[in-house]
Chains A and B, each alone.
Chain A
Amino acid sequence: MNPLQKVVEKTGWPRLIIGLFLLSLFIIAPFAGVKISTSLNDTLVRFGMNGILVLAMVPMIHSGCGLNFGLPLGIIAGLLGGTLSMQLGATGPMSFFIAILLATPFAVIFGWGYGALLNRVKGGEMMIATYVGFSSVAFMCIMWLLLPYNNPTMIWGYGGTGLRTTISVEGYYLHALSDFLAIRIGDFVFPTGMILFVLLLNFLVWVFMRTRTGTAMTAVGSNPVFAKASGVNIDRTRTISVILSTWLGAIGILVYQQSFGFIQLYMGPFYMAFPAVAAILIGGASVNKASILNVLIGAFLFQGILTMTPSVMNSLIQTDMSEVIRIIVSNGMIIYALTRVKKGAK
């Protein structure tokens, strides 16, 4: 086998093709009148925003719980953390860390319950997870209205009760990470803090997967009976992985919000799982094998295509249909990725 073939085999055709396509978009961009600095900037920002949400897939894949379609549950923990932090009057970058602290107990409790449920439906985790996500969103639609929040920036202006669908985090944790050590070159801004934070969490998960518990997690996913025969408590290990995934989902949405600028409640988390699932699959993961490299490559390729295709196409055909193209591209990639779902083989 010659070296070129080896590289192709290692990268995998899908990643190679998507990568080349993304590269060609960057090359075409200047000719289509899209500024390369803004495109690069957008790609990096979106990579940072979504990186941790994609990472939230990893622990559950390792322990054999499949893809974390119940990501909205983790996101809800993050939303509770974010809104509570604002309600308690924290401001500025400090409010971001308070949000993380407040989100953590929710994530642990939710994750524990979610894990207990998944332990009862071994073999059908992904279907159940999807509906855990959906139903938790529906439940929270009621709770956002009923919970006694009263910070004027968050509640509906007319009734005086219930949270708004979209809440601005300006004055709270807007760009809490993104602006940290940000590098500005003309109109290109490198969101150093956010990227560093994403890489840090990725690194921590990588380290965790190399501990004794992390190794047990991988073994449980690979062959539960083997793990049991080696004295590993399967249900406990799986629950830990679900809690970790849920917590990462909570942190992920907070990082997303601080860059995006808004908290989106109610139906906001509903479809958040699919792009994250698609990204990790495109990154080369399978239903029971995933690495940190899959996360980084997947998040970059998926978000890169999602950013670049609409803006380039838009400029080429001279009409504003970026939103339409964005929907087609994003759902197309999700479909493609879901057809790649396969058991075992990496």
Chain B
Amino acid sequence: MSQNAPLLEMRNVTKDFFGNVVLKDVSFSIERGEILGLVGENGAGKTTLMKILFGMTVIQDTGGYGGEILLEGKPVSYKSPLEALDDGIGMVHQEFSLLPGFTATENILLNRESTNYNFMTELFGDRMRTLDRAEMKTRAEKAIEKVGVKLDENTPVSEMPVGHKQFTEIARELEKENVKLLVLDEPTAVLTESEAEILLKSMRKLSEEGIAIIFISHRLQEIIEITDKTLVLRDGRIIQETPTDQTDIEEIAQAMVGREIHAEGDRAEVRTFNAPHLIVNNLWVDMPGETVRNISLEINKGEIFGIGGLAGQGKLGIPNGIMGLYPAGGEVRIDGKTIPLNNPREALDASMAFVSEDRRDVGLLLDEPIDWNISFTGMQMQKRFLKPVLGGLFRLRDDKAIEDIANHYIEALEIKCMSPRQKAKELSGGNQQKVCLAKAFVVEPDILFVSEPTRGIDVGAKKIVLDTLKEYNREKGTTIIIISSELEELRSISDRIAIVDEGRISGILPASEPSKAFGLLMLGKVDSKGDSK
């Protein structure tokens, strides 16, 4: 094999799922120590491309792929991810592949544990060797240090905040001796800005050590900041391949979506409110990883109120607690009327609605069609979409009305789907988010909680989601409380923004204040998190 051959080269890779072409003639190469940024809208084919590289069985099950993959000049075609791992390709998935009940150490070293000899191995072979806990601890610590974070290696994964899970996954890949190429599939989507910063720093360090990295991200700022080369995929084709220092965010964004994206400069006009609508006093919420300790808020009628803060500080606990999904205490009043906590029904009856940050587990019926998803809450809470039969003896689902409302929102929110009967799990992340929003809009709430509405969705969908919320607020006068990790997003839409730190409000400022003021609030009592912008 020649020393000049690139580390990895893909030639004319093509893939279709039953005639539906998802990748067409994709060719690129990556050198040792190079960081390649792979960007594209949801459904552009990024994940499929990586699945091909790893020989995921789903690829063979659906008829294999066309084209060639060369590793160090040698053609390879992996039949299973294990073969790819043996060749030194590591992958950090978009969805975590960690064992929840195991500690960080155990997850990092899974199947590569340090072991000690004992007499049983004579009888049963190496599978009976005992674990060398002390050695494992050192190895895990080393790997975690390589990532550059503070992480307790003895915490079970199930008790970690989401950012730490991500770091554990990365540490696991780095612990492997021979790793040459690391694929990071949206590693920063679940991280806060400061956590992401740490990750980027460690990526730079790794690339200096000669490890090539394929970095998939929706956060273009990060792509610009860290990558050597940018690859833009759209509809399964490579649209743009340039050295990163010769391009900029706008060019990439445009290549991704194939249409003009407005610069995110337009700030909400300054509005003033003086009619307190929702009053929260001394709220605590016991939500794992997002504990709310003591929060008091006054939110005005018709306002868009942003709640920001670093991950794990409790900002997500606020809506989940008020809506009765996690054990909570304290006082919540709407127009002077106290709303009982810990009962979703009461919260919904008080005309509040919630778009959860957890689309897959809370927000959607994945196995049911879009129209069901959109109309279900309205049907259960307000007895809508039912038609009387036998002279009003009982009422049945009105499929026509359900389909009509679904079609209405599919059009209004530009939900890309084949029909309102398509199952929610078949939609891409952005479109799923739009379905979640539609579900909340259907009940026409007075107060709408929207949690992380743009997490993991692409630039185009992000804009539609934010614009829709703004429009809805202006037209219907709905009070919207938006919770997001992305400060700029909050600033572009909210009237006021509260920053949550360690389960308490560290400050509430008008959105027009400069970012720096918010950054300082986030850092309030946090010292070890590095600086945030």
Contacts and interface: CB of A to CB of B under 8 A. Distances in A.
Interface of A: 1, 207, 210-212, 214-216, 218-219, 222-223, 225-226, 228-233, 288-289, 344, 346
Contacts of B323: 229
Contact of B376 (A214, A215, A225, A346): A215
A346 B367 CA distance: 9
A211 B362 contact: no
A76 to B, nearest CB: 30
A232 B18 contact: no
A167 to B, nearest CB: 38
A199 B356 CA distance: 42
B348 A223 contact: no
A288 B368 CA distance: 12
14 contacts: A1-B19, A211-B386, A211-B394, A215-B379, A219-B368, A219-B372, A222-B365, A223-B366, A226-B363, A226-B364, A229-B363, A232-B380, A289-B367, A344-B367
B383 A233 contact: no
Given A1-B18, A211-B386, A231-B381, 16 more contacts: A210-B396, A211-B396, A211-B397, A212-B395, A215-B372, A215-B376, A219-B372, A223-B361, A223-B365, A225-B325, A228-B325, A230-B348, A230-B377, A231-B348, A232-B380, A346-B367
Contacts of A1: 18-19
A225 B349 CA distance: 18
Given A229-B356, A233-B345, A219 B365 contact: yes
A45 B366 CA distance: 39
A215 B379 CA distance: 9
A215 B344 contact: no
Given A228-B344, A229-B344, A223 B364 contact: yes
Interface string B372-391: 10001101110100100000
A222 B377 contact: no
B354 interface: yes
A229 B362 contact: yes
B401 to A, nearest CB: 13
B395 A226 contact: no
Q: Which 6 A-B pairs have the closest CB atoms?
A: A230-B377, A231-B345, A231-B348, A210-B397, A222-B365, A210-B396
A222 B349 CA distance: 23
A211 B395 contact: yes
A211 B379 CA distance: 10
B367 A222 contact: yes
A212 to B, nearest CB: 6
A226 B362 contact: yes
A210 B361 CA distance: 24
Interface string B350-372: 00001010000111111110001
A117 B376 CA distance: 28
Contacts of B362: 225-226, 229
Interface residues of B, number: 30
A215 B498 CA distance: 39
Contacts of A214: 397
Given A231-B344, A233-B345, A212 B361 contact: no
Contacts of A222: 365-368
A230 B380 contact: yes
B379 A212 contact: yes
Contacts of A233: 345
A216 B380 contact: yes
B380 A212 contact: yes
Contacts of B372: 215, 219
Contact of A229 (B18, B349, B354, B366): B354
Contacts of B367: 222-223, 288-289, 344, 346
Nearest to A345: B367
Given A1-B18, A222-B367, A212 B325 contact: no
B497 to A, nearest CB: 25
A205 B348 CA distance: 29
A282 B386 CA distance: 33
Nearest to B362: A225
A331 B325 CA distance: 45
A148 to B, nearest CB: 41
A225 B386 contact: no
A260 B397 CA distance: 38
Given A215-B397, A225-B362, A289-B367, A230 B18 contact: no
Counting chain A CB atoms within 10 Å of each CB, the highest count among B362, B364, B383 belongs to B362
A219 B376 contact: yes
B165 to A, nearest CB: 19
A286 to B, nearest CB: 10
Contacts of B354: 229
A214 B379 CA distance: 11
Contacts of B363: 226, 229
Given A223-B365, A226-B364, A289-B367, A231 B396 contact: no
Given A211-B397, A218-B368, A225 B361 contact: yes
B222 to A, nearest CB: 32
A288 B365 CA distance: 13
Given A222-B367, A226-B365, A229-B356, A212 B18 contact: no
Contacts of A225: 325, 361-362
Contacts of A230: 344, 348, 376-377, 380-381
Contacts of B380: 212, 215-216, 219, 230-232
Nearest to B349: A231
B397 A231 contact: no
A218 B323 CA distance: 22
Given A230-B377, A231-B348, A212 B365 contact: no
